Structure 1
């Protein structure tokens, strides 16, 4: 561990650690890559002092479902109307991606997300057309400074997967051996098994068991009704398998997920705009299934987790209000447990809940001594912090333009509103060349 010490002083600390709570004026001492202390006042003559006056200090945001390879296709999915549009108009463009395009796309998306406060992301890479495609995406991840779980995609190969599965799983094993088992490493291996609309229960079982044998975090797309029953019956549900979407999950399926210690990744903005059922987020939380949040596809959603927080809070409120009205409880009135969602709870979806879903709750997700120093400084000046719970300010009154600094593992990746050691012009050129070729 590095001996470098950084003292962040005079910020409004939202630690999300129950033992520390919120500190209206507090300090965070960082030693190397870890948080050493969080307290109202810390003195350390040997530390570099960073004045956080006029900012809120929060744990780094965690995106549990992001398809980074789609970054050059930003805007192509703006007017999508349902899944069929996506499958016919956007997803097929993956076949045009060369291996070197995976490097440029992944690097650019990761830097954009990092600058927008996402310190950790699960990159669901369902564009592993060749081994080189995966290698190039990982090469990008090694350079960004973002904390990443690389979800090696086994999906999208309905005509090839049966004959290629063994080779692909062998490649996963080799990559995992290269990256190692350190849970605090910035780049970790993961697996995205094929789900039942692309594969079979037997095929999925082979892939999940392989991932479990390696101790990998895993994630799946879960879009078809009744899938969770089948996956449970096959004995495949577990805390290491993170379903994404699950908008059609029944209450009984949610109970199965809770019993197995599962979380769900909700990509609220994309799901809502695609006309999907949004009651599942609140039903999952009430059932004991930890909700987490993701951006999903940059082709149709901005790589901006702060927006996802706001979308999720507002949509959950609207769904709950609609239910109250349907039950005849109108006009709205407070009663025990209603409304259920709070801004703080939604902030936890993208921090402590997400860390747990990735098997990293001991290392990230809160500003806790001993954990990795992943954090974000949000400017609140010139108007100051909003009234009420300070989490309300983060979720409802903050945007990416307010992000003053982003730190991962004790290193600033963004400082004073600017990315550190990033050639923005190069990023623009990398993404633009691929975009022009895809759309020509």
Structure 2
């Protein structure tokens, strides 16, 4: 009989801990939801032994920007071109959601992302039309077993934003008392601020001050030129605020973010396909701003962080080579500092950096003893692990289909290629019925 401990045995352990490094033929011992020991030939009598032969054992992936309520809208965003088109054909459907639709959409999205190796997600929920909408999403999060920072959206119905703000913040206070006082909760509360495109700086200030009074992590869409300057001038920039997208940042604005310890969430696949400038990822990284990655909207992007990792690497590589050509350094040749982007660096965007960005750097992001056991076990396939850095294999030779197992807080949520504790017939029926109710004849 197992004593409650789990020993992952004989895998290629990619710890992302600079002191531990990668361990060939490595073991990971899990006890009470946390990593107890990492090394070779760990002796743990009484522990359940799970073979990891031929597998990569790595930290779970962290998505720092996902609109989970859009899961039933999958595909609708593929034909849009620009924000007005998106607003007309996708975002307008938000009014068709009630609390049950929010629950079902969040539940199906959470399981989809878990199945793809995302152990932690920042759910940027900008469809909180009522308190019950938020409660519906939170109920789903409690059911999936995924680790979640639920960023309560302050964007409601546009004609009632100002008058509803006090009651919304009161609801945030109540939820924070329920969720954030117990550190064992997998679901925590954060705040998704009103976008400056739709609100005054004083409106945003009121939200920021309320969130900081409660100790909440915050995130904000940053799409319009000079918004970071406006936040800086108002004294609102700090490391507890995670801007998203930020493709139009000047070097000076990047410097402001770096000086206050901010990270940025990039949704490279969606941003690139929508025509945004992609140079900011590399510029921000070089300046000391922590890059992190998100899927963004399931209406046009699959909730698959492995796809985001590869897209980000390739986009950054292309941007860097374009810069070399513009500077007359062609054909490209290696020199100190070029190329800047590496596979391991990008992998850290969705693990180490992301954990820090959502306030969980001490608990997540690396396979370090004492941290939470949020782990992905990745099959290497018929031909084994690629040569060189194991990060090469993770980014360039694997997909979400290769995931054997996913653990969150030391509990298997997927094992031997199959999600656990899920009624698949019911899940499929929920997804079909939800899509019918929301999309209808749209």
Q: In 2 relative to 1, CA 235–183 (structure 1 residues): closer, same or farther, beyond 3 Å? A: farther
Larger displacement relative to structure 2 (113-122 or 420-429): 420-429
Q: Distance in 2 between matches of 1:6 and 1:192?
A: 37
Q: Is the Cα contact below 8 Å between 2:129 and 2:156 reproduced in 1?
A: no
- Structure 1: 5+ residue stretches without partners: none
Q: Matches of 2:398 and 2:264 in 1, distance apart?
A: 25
What 5-or-longer segments of structure 2 have no aligned partner? none
Matched residues in 2 for 1:293 and 1:184: separation? 25
Aligned partner of 1:315 in structure 2 is: 315
1:429 shift after superposition: 1.4
The answer to whether residue 13 in structure 2 is matched with residue 10 in structure 1 is: no
Residue 407, structure 1, aligned to residue 407, structure 2? yes
Q: Distance in 1 between matches of 2:177 and 2:124?
A: 20
Structure 2 CA distance, aligned partners of 1:324 and 1:181? Answer: 51
Matched, 1:132 2:132: yes
Separation in 1, partners of 2:428, 2:299: 16
CA-atom RMSD, angstroms?
A: 1.0
1:283-294 to 2 correspondences below 5 Å = 283-294=283-294
Whole-angstrom distance in 1 between the partners of 2:107 and 2:158: 28
Q: Deviations over 1:346-375 (max 9, x none)?
A: 000000000000110000110000000000
Structure-to-structure mapping, 1:319-330, within 5 angstroms: 319-330=319-330
SS at match of 1:413: strand
* Deviation by residue 1:34-90 (Cα, 9 ceiling, x = unmatched): 000000120111100000001000000000000000000001111221222111110
Matching residue of 2:257: 257
Q: For structure 1, which segment, 150-159 or 236-245, has the greater mean C-alpha deviation from structure 2 after superposition?
A: 150-159
1:306 maps to which residue? 306
In 2, Cα distance between the equivalents of 1:122 and 1:424? 25
Q: State whether residues 193 and 219 of structure 1, in contact with CA within 8 Å, keep that contact through their aligned partners in structure 2.
A: yes
Q: What's 2:272 paired with?
A: 272
Counterpart CA distance in 2 for 1:348 and 1:156 is 34
1:90, 1:431 → 2: CA distance?
A: 18
Q: Is the 8 A contact 2:29 2:37 kept in 1?
A: yes
Provide the secondary structure at the position in 1 that maps to 2:171: helix
| CA distances 1:301-354 after superposition (whole Å, capped 9, x unpaired) | 001000000000000000000010011100010111100000000000000000
Q: Is the contact made by 2:3 and 2:48 (CA closer than 8 Å) also made in structure 1?
A: no
CA contact (8 A) 1:11 1:54 kept: yes
TM-score (normalised: structure 2): 0.98
Deviation at 1:183, TM superposition (A): 4.1
Q: How does 1:353-364 map to 2 (within 5 A)?
A: 353-364=353-364
Any idea what SS the aligned residue of 1:50 has? strand
Matched residue, 2:215: 215
* TM-score (ref. length: structure 1): 0.98
